[in-house]
Amino acid sequence: MATVRVVPRRRLRTIVAALCAGVLVAAAPASAGAAQDKSAAQDRSAAQARGAAQDRGAAQDRGAAQDNAPIRGQAAPARVKPAAPLPVRTGRVAVKAQAKALAGPTDRVALRSLVIATDTADWGVPTLTTTLNRVGAAYDVLYSADTALTASTLVRADGVGRYNAILLTSSMLVYSSGGSFISGLDGVEWNTLWTYERDYGVRQAALYTSYGTYPEDYCLRTVSETAVGDTPLNVALTGTGAGVFDYLKATATIPVVQSYVYRTSIAPGCSATSTMTAGSDVLGVRTTSTDGRERLALTFSNNVNLLQSDLVVYGLVRWATKGMFLGEQRHWLHVDVDDWFNSADHYFEDGHIESDPGFQVSAHDAVALKNRQAALRTAQPLAAAFKLNLAYNGGDIQPNSTTTCSPNGGVAQLTSTSRCLRNDFRWINHTLTHPELTTTDYTTTFNEISSNFTAASAIGLTVPANVLKTPEYSGLGVWNDNPDDDTSPPVDHGLGASNVNLLTAAQNLGIKYLHGNFSFPSHVPANFNTNIVHPLNAAVSVVPDWPTNIAYHTTTPGEETAWYNSVYGPGGSIPTFPANRTYAQVVDFEAAIALQHVASGSIAAHTFHIANVRDYASGKSLVMDWVEAVVGKYASYYSTPLLNVDWPALGAYTTLRNAHFAQRAAGVDPVYDRSAGTVTVTSPLAGTVQLSGVNTAASTTYGTDRTAPVTLTANTAVTVTAAPRL
């Protein structure tokens, strides 16, 4: 039997636990299709991991526990250079009456967007495609500087329109070349595009526009223009805007930062209404052209890394597509607390760490956590479904305990109180004794998982049989090459280096979903909200979690603030801020990062640890301070609820998304017939696709969005009822 390296319950190894408390926190994910734009979060992760690897010495003077130095990630979000002002161009392109691009009916269009940009340096492309990829929508990108736009670009040979939405990165599509500004589309191409939009009833949305009339008049006239830095320009929704962006609160204030802004007014007598304003100035417009085409535009620049983009770009896409597209948009908040019934290192404000006795959750802490969770659900109706996931180690469970809650109880009463509160939390198998599973043999691994199920069953905990969170994500190809080195970061050797005994034991026990972590590139799926079918065993899949910067071994605001400043303060190991942060600033900053995860639509859980649940004052805890801050920020912007499901449902959703993206890659073809009021879907691949803007028996609603999973047989048409947003 292989040697088992058990992590003492009084002294959890810090390497991966700290990774879960810091790496990949700089911005929200921006996933892409398998062969399309790489996820922005993935692109940043490598740099952040390198930054974490450079940090070794913040805990050099911590006595016996100095080998537990945490690994920290980059705390600062990516800096954004505001887009340049659009060039001033006078005149307009004359709208010419043209024959239909192809003779025949113009009622049918594919549910696919066309992004028209200038060239590959156009910042609007990643901003738009990030949202399209998160949703799972189908799209093409046309770079107008070197690709002609013709009738065949827009219409198939059978007369079906190729696109149900036109998304312009800017209204003028002007780029610099040889010292001059050139329009990516000439007059003929603009008219070809406009004819298509008019005849096929296709809407056009421009991510960025200014005043003026070129190439056509959006009814905007100049008031002023300026670059906006880190101090937000507060932008409000008008009545029209509240309809377009109805997933946002009608009273929401959109904080526009790091942007170039055109303050405009609407020309008198022009067919336009404002959608967004800053004071009396117009920053967004919905307008109808002289030939009846519907258009939507913003007068401030956006960027994939900015919250304002998370808030508004989906609305542009949804409006342009009339709510009919592949995929869906939802908002979720899931939080895991690892190592319940176990012990953790304890970081003190002076920087020393104690591992013996370390920290253990008391019955009082558990009751306070339950009460705080209940108070959140009452105070924040959008989070009414929120419930914490507790990843437990059952080795210290007392099977003969009572089912009595002990509001003032200590560690000895934790089991009985957990039994009492068993339905107030969700439970996740985290193995019996928290061993590293990197090299464990089959029997040991099987018993660690199976015995933990048994321990939970003995006290009446309901634990999903198909989910496992391994200690420190061990067994999934990540470990330190030197087993005696507890200060260097684990190396991501890839999922191909996983412990096959873990995979086989998991399969034989009926486990389908293994937690991974976005800190490790090999754990990051190719597409948004999907999982990785394990390359060594297709019976199990890896579903990654988000890390946070609430340190795994801190229990109070003072401890968290001291740790945070020891890393990110001006004298820290990774100096990031010009002055030390207060606890309120730490929580606000970290919650803002998490908000972007939530706003992006990420279903992934955020990971915390038991030290973070200590009742440090009047029922408060670090984890609930963070949760309350995230929910509060979300509720200040959104009108749609925060979804919270159990882990089997979360895993199943990622499997559905795998099927969806497989369909997208295979070329699934939904075609909307506006006369018949139907969408007909065909695909060369059997499987299931998510489709927004349709009614079926399986349709679900989220806010005013309607989505259905559509099951397909290869090369066989399925027709469903369309539900366009008009």
DSSP 370-410: HHHHHHHHHH-GGGTT---EEEE-GGG--TT--S---TT--
Q: Are strands 259-266 and 272-278 parallel, antiparallel or unpaired?
A: unpaired
- HSE-CB at 556 with a 13 A cutoff on CA atoms is 12
Structure tokens at 302: 């956006």
CA distances from 167 to 92, 193, 320, 389, 560 (A): 20, 12, 8, 40, 45
Closest Cα to residue 25, out of 98, 77, 60, 71?
77
pLDDT reading at 73 higher than 70: no
Q: What is the mean pLDDT of the chain?
A: 89
- Would you state the pLDDT for residue 486? 64
- Would you state the pLDDT for residue 20? 37
Distance CA 681, CA 110 (A): 9
Per-domain boundaries in the chain: 15-78+330-647, 108-304, 667-722
Class of domain 15-78+330-647: alpha beta
Fold equal for 15-78+330-647 and 108-304: no
For 68-84, what is the mean pLDDT? 56
Distance CA 134, CA 402 (A): 47
pLDDT reading at 27 higher than 80: no
- Would you state the pLDDT for residue 554? 98
pLDDT reading at 42 higher than 80: no
For residue range 136-172, list pLDDT tens digits in order.
Answer: 999 999 999 999 999 999 999 999 999 999 999 999 9
SS3 200: helix
pLDDT reading at 26 higher than 80: no
pLDDT reading at 630 higher than 90: yes
pLDDT reading at 297 higher than 90: yes
Q: Are strands 139-143 and 113-117 parallel, antiparallel or unpaired?
A: parallel
Q: How confident is the model at residue 79 (pLDDT cuts 50, 70, 90)?
A: low
Name residue 298's beta-bridge partners: 284
Q: C-alpha dihedral over 436, 474, 66, 579, to 10 degrees? A: -150
- Would you state the pLDDT for residue 98? 59
pLDDT reading at 618 higher than 50: yes
pLDDT reading at 195 higher than 60: yes
Q: How confident is the model at residue 55 (pLDDT cuts 50, 70, 90)?
A: very low
- Unique residue bearing structure tokens 């028209």: 116
Name residue 116's beta-bridge partners: 142, 168
pLDDT reading at 305 higher than 90: yes
Helix (H) or strand (E) holding 461: none
Distance CA 127, CA 131 (A): 7
- Point out the least confidently predicted range of 174-183, 392-401, 540-549, 610-619: 174-183
Question: Which tops the pLDDT comparison, 79 or 26?
Answer: 79
| pLDDT > 70: percent of the chain | 87
* 161 touches 110 (CB < 8 A): yes
- Angle (CA) 105 111 115, round 5°: 105
Q: How confident is the model at residue 77 (pLDDT cuts 50, 70, 90)?
A: low
pLDDT reading at 391 higher than 90: yes
pLDDT reading at 54 higher than 50: no
Closest Cα to residue 172, out of 310, 297, 314?
297
CATH, domain range 108-304: 3.40.50
For 459-463, what is the mean pLDDT? 98
Q: C-alpha dihedral over 557, 558, 559, 564, to 10 degrees? A: 80
Q: Which residues of 510-535 are buried (b: 16+ CB within 10 A; e: fewer)?
A: ebbbbbbbbbbebbbbbbbbbbbebe
